[in-house]
Homo-oligomer: A and B are copies of this chain.
Amino acid sequence: MDRRQQKTRKAIFDAFSTLLERKNFNNITVQEIIDEANVGRSTFYAHFETKESLLKAMCIDIFQHVFSDDLSQESSHDFSHAGHDFHKELTHILYHLQDNRKNLKGLLSCDSGEIFMEYFKEYLEQTFPIYIKELHYDVPPDYLLNHFVCSFSETVRWWITKHEQYTPEQIAAFYVQCVMIK
């Protein structure tokens, strides 16, 4: 990739991130991003079709780091250890998210929040099934998956936006305690 493209892309990402700390996604204009990034108008549109494309690209960027080294490949998944592995995987994800908390606070603000959460859930829907497939609830399987996925993503939102004082381990413990019937 051309160094110029890399620099431009980074400048736009950084500018977007800076703006997200100050204001809602919907109230940020392309012009502001351009000014903050110190980049030409046509240059921005050479990289991203719309403001939404930029948001999506940033989400994908974050999730690539969070879900790249997949713990589910590393550890055993006997039924007996399922709870323990699940807890480990969650903590792992939470640590990666904590590294991005500066960006996440902006992404989770009001309007862009829904978009971020949608992508987040997509990843979780791929990750969670192996951990909950052994559970026997009397509910439709896709309801159960939705419940686990939504509860966790909302836990993350609760943590990042309002309760940063807790550690990833604590957050994982809160979640598991509420969601796992013993």
Contacts and interface: CB of A to CB of B under 8 A. Distances in A.
A169 to B, nearest CB: 13
Interface string A159-182: 000010000000001100111011
Contacts of A138: 177
In the complex, the count of this chain's copies comes to 2
B154 A147 contact: yes
B143 A174 contact: yes
Interface residues of A, number: 25
Contacts of A146: 154, 158
Nearest 9 CB-CB pairings of A with B = A114-B114, A150-B154, A139-B174, A147-B178, A146-B158, A143-B174, A151-B151, A181-B181, A139-B177
Interface of A: 110-111, 113-114, 137-140, 143-144, 146-147, 150-151, 154-155, 158, 163, 173-174, 177-179, 181-182
